[in-house]
């Protein structure tokens, strides 16, 4: 463990007083009962708060929507998994047998969760300032390059805001079909709004992407500009 | 404003040093440019963090799912709107003409957002401890009566998690029939999973309840325990 603590000190710049917290943060649930999921819950909330505070103070002219979307680009699973790769965290995470072989989505999610668990552990070990400093250091390169003005609304958000501003009821999405082999599924989704007679149907490789496509097409019908 | 500050002091137990922050927290966007939405963004993150920290420390045996669900019951719009009503916050919020007449959902959302904005303002004015104390005081009666063990997963969530943990594809719900008069409809819904030869069919008074019933029955077939 001391070797790992040394590595974390070099990469995160944080020295744990209680190394059992560090061990726990790096232990996936596949290993046994003393895993990192509770720490991940705590770290996720801390990360959201620290980034919110940073964006709030750094971008006094950004509105709530821009702040929310900017934060979402910083703290999503893919972004945190990249952070974890930058730290070579993958080598330090303790995984059970079954998980060792898994790749792809699982892998990203395990890495991202470990980053959040580490932040929770640092908070418990060293307090808010230590946690805040670690977040800002981990995200430093991303934080310096963000521009809230450039965050575009995704189509579902844009459609929802369009309808709300006109006091119409919200769209209803339905999954109509899921086809294809499990690694290459195609989702068919419909988007129904009160003011159109028929639902708009669209496809995508994930439910979310299919819904975004359906929302985009619906918005275009409602507001062709 | 001083009258409002006095009222907030009595109900929240917090005395603002910078009363312009308080004014801002209580100003809805319908009033003009200096409204409370940025403070709401900040306060939402703070609230999530403080409640996460509280639950983490108070319930050492609760797992991440229980913590997440318990927090969701504490910080949702309805719950925060109730908190706002307990504080008579509605009378203190500055609304534009158009918003004065609106009720229902809008109203709940305006109230809940003002609570979050107040928490953001208190954080900026008095720091983390002041914010934490306010959150814990506002939610006190709720926090003392919660029991993470009692938060049950709804059946659709449980079925989805069961399938995902086994890397199977997600269930597909279809509405097969809607019958009965409009105030007393019966929804018939099917739930199809790859590993069962036939979809499971169930009824309910709403689509959601029918889907929950179908999910529950499907889960029982897959995992009779």
pLDDT in tens, B209-222: 899 899 989 988 88
Q: Which of B40, B108, B116, B125 is catalytic?
A: B116
* CA distance from start to end of chain A: 61
Q: Measured between alpha carbons, how far is A81 from B72 in angstroms, rounded to an integer?
A: 25
The torsion angles phi and psi of A215, rounded to 5 degrees, stand at -65, -40
Residue B172 and residue A178: Cβ atoms within 8 Å? yes
* Interstrand relation of A200-204 and B186-192 (parallel, antiparallel or unpaired): unpaired
- Residues of B in Cβ contact (< 8 Å) with A48: 45, 48-49
Q: Measured between alpha carbons, how far is A127 from A129 in angstroms, rounded to an integer?
A: 6
The partner residues of B188 in beta bridges, in order of sequence, read B177, B203
Chain CA centroid to CA B180, Å: 33
Residue B52 and residue A42: Cβ atoms within 8 Å? yes
Residues 6+ apart with CB under 8 A from A152: A69
**Is B100's pLDDT higher than 90?**
no
For A52, which of B45, B51, B168 is closest by C-beta distance?
B45
A45-56 average pLDDT score: 98
CA distance A4 to chain B (A): 25
Residue A178 and residue B168: Cβ atoms within 8 Å? no
Q: Measured between alpha carbons, how far is B69 from A116 in angstroms, rounded to an integer?
A: 18
Q: Measured between alpha carbons, how far is A176 from B158 in angstroms, rounded to an integer?
A: 21
Q: Is B44 a catalytic residue?
A: yes
**Is A158's pLDDT higher than 60?**
yes
B17 vs B165: which has the higher pLDDT: B17
pLDDT of residue B42: 98
Buried b (16+ CB within 10 A) or exposed e, B46-73: bbbbbbbbbbbeebeebebbbbbbbbee
Q: Measured between alpha carbons, how far is A154 from B202 in angstroms, rounded to an integer?
A: 35
Residue B67 and residue A175: Cβ atoms within 8 Å? no
A40-49, A76-85, A164-173 — which is least confidently predicted?
A: A164-173
Per-residue pLDDT band for A106 (boundaries 50, 70, 90) equals: low
ipTM score: 0.71
Residues of A with catalytic function: 44, 116
Residue B53 and residue A68: Cβ atoms within 8 Å? no
Q: Measured between alpha carbons, how far is B91 from B100 in angstroms, rounded to an integer?
A: 11
B37-51, B96-110, B111-125, B146-160 — which is least confidently predicted?
A: B96-110
Q: Are residues B211 and B199 in contact, defined by beta-carbon separation less than 8 angstroms?
A: no
Per-residue pLDDT band for A100 (boundaries 50, 70, 90) equals: low
Structural tokens at position A35: 């895993």
Which of B58, B105, B55 minimizes the C-alpha distance to B75? B55
CA distance A45 to chain B (A): 5
Chain A interface disruption, residue of B43, B52, B190, most A CBs within 10 A: B52
Chain B interface disruption, residue of A34, A37, A38, most B CBs within 10 A: A38
Q: Measured between alpha carbons, how far is A182 from B164 in angstroms, rounded to an integer?
A: 11
Q: For chain B, what percent of residues have pLDDT higher than 70? A: 94
Q: Are residues B28 and B96 in contact, defined by beta-carbon separation less than 8 angstroms?
A: yes
Residue B42 and residue A56: Cβ atoms within 8 Å? yes
B176 vs B164: which has the higher pLDDT: B176
Residue B167 and residue A175: Cβ atoms within 8 Å? no
Structural tokens at position B164: 């995902």
Per-residue pLDDT band for B164 (boundaries 50, 70, 90) equals: confident
The torsion angles phi and psi of A189, rounded to 5 degrees, stand at -130, 145
- Residues of A in Cβ contact (< 8 Å) with B38: 56, 62-64, 67
Identify residues of B whose CB sits under 8 angstroms from chain A CBs. Answer: 37-38, 40-42, 44-46, 48-49, 51-53, 56, 62-64, 67-68, 120, 128, 167-170, 172-173
CA distance B201 to chain A (A): 17
Output DSSP code: residue A44. H
Chain CA centroid to CA A157, Å: 17
Q: Measured between alpha carbons, how far is B70 from B52 in angstroms, rounded to an integer?
A: 9
Chain B interface disruption, residue of A36, A37, A44, A64, most B CBs within 10 A: A64
Rounded to two decimals, what is the model's pTM? 0.72
Q: Are residues A191 and A204 in contact, defined by beta-carbon separation less than 8 angstroms?
A: no
pLDDT in tens, A73-91: 899 888 999 999 999 898 8
CA distances to A27, A45, A92, A194, B63 from A31, rounded to whole Å, are: 7, 24, 13, 50, 16
Q: Which of B40, B44, B108, B125 is catalytic?
A: B44
Q: CB pairs below 8 Å between A and B: how many?
A: 65
Q: What's the 3-state SS for B49-110?
A: HHHHHHHHHHCCCCCHHHHHHHHHHHCCHHHHHHHHHHCCHHHCCECCHHHHCCCHHHHHHH
Helix (H, G, I), strand (E, B) or coil at B190: strand
For A64, which of B38, B56, B167 is closest by C-beta distance?
B38
For B48, which of A45, A63, A64 is closest by C-beta distance?
A45
Q: Measured between alpha carbons, how far is B36 from B29 in angstroms, rounded to an integer?
A: 7
Q: Are residues B134 and B25 in contact, defined by beta-carbon separation less than 8 angstroms?
A: no
């Amino acid at each position: 463990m001391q070797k790992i603590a040394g590595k974390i000190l070099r990469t995160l710049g944080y020295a744990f007083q209680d190394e059992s917290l560090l061990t726990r943060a790096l232990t996936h649930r596949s290993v046994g009962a003393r895993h990192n999921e509770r720490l991940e819950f705590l770290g996720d909330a801390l990360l959201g708060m620290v980034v919110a505070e940073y964006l709030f103070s750094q971008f006094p002219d950004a509105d709530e929507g821009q702040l929310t979307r900017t934060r979402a680009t910083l703290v999503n699973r893919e972004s945190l998994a990249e952070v974890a790769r930058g730290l070579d965290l993958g080598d330090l995470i303790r995984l059970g047998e079954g998980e060792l072989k898994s790749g792809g989505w699982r892998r990203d999610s395990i890495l991202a969760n470990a980053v959040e668990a580490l932040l929770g552990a640092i908070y418990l070990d060293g307090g808010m300032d230590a946690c805040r400093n670690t977040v800002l250091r981990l995200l430093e390169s991303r934080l310096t390059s963000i521009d809230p003005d450039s965050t575009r609304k995704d189509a579902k958000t844009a459609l929802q805001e369009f309808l709300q501003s006109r006091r119409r009821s919200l769209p209803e999405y339905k999954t109509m079909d899921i086809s294809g082999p499990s690694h290459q599924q195609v989702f068919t989704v419909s988007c129904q709004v009160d003011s159109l007679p028929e639902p708009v149907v669209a496809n995508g490789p994930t439910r979310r992407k299919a819904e975004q496509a359906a929302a985009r097409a619906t918005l275009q019908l409602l507001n062709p500009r």
